Amino acid sequence: MKPEMRRSFVDIAVRRQKAGAGSQREFLLERTTNMHWIDLSDILSSIHWAVVGGVATRLYMPERMTDVLDIVILAKDAKESRLQLRAGGFVYISELSIAGSSWKSPDGTIIDRLEAKDDWLESALIESQSNRDEQGLPILPLPYLVLMKLHAGRP
């Protein structure tokens, strides 16, 4: 994302924010990994994947409460990832309204596996391998998380 585009979005958010609203600055600067999530590295070992959504944001802001681990993969890896998840004891739940599917891990964790075909995703997934949270999960870098939100229509 170009710096001037990012600046425009920040300016819009600042105009909409009421003075004095929100959390204390010290809290906003904290980074926590209190919630422990399943690491899919061994299960999805032959494909690139990264954490997105609420769990990913804990690398960039205070941790949010969420019940679902969202990951993104390349659409071309969808079949292979399904096979690997099943082999790892995951149970298929359903297709998502967007490209992807929902799964339940052996410990009961819900995983939403998003599939994307975007040109930038492969390099973003590779970059994610060196962009890890305190738990060690690969996190999609912030500019790409923002891009995913924009594509989803949620600026």
> What DSSP line would sit under 76-127, residue for residue?
GGHHHHHHHHHHTT-EEEEE-SSSEEEEE-TTS-EEEEEEE--TTHHHHHHH
Q: Look at residue 15 and give its three-state secondary structure.
A: helix
- pTM for the structure as a whole: 0.78
Radius of gyration of the chain (CA): 16
**pLDDT tens profile 9-19:** 777 766 766 65
Q: Which of 2-6, 40-44, 67-71, 75-79 has the lowest mean pLDDT?
A: 2-6
**pLDDT tens profile 46-101:** 999 999 988 888 888 777 788 899 999 999 999 999 999 999 999 999 999 889 99
What's 67's DSSP letter? S
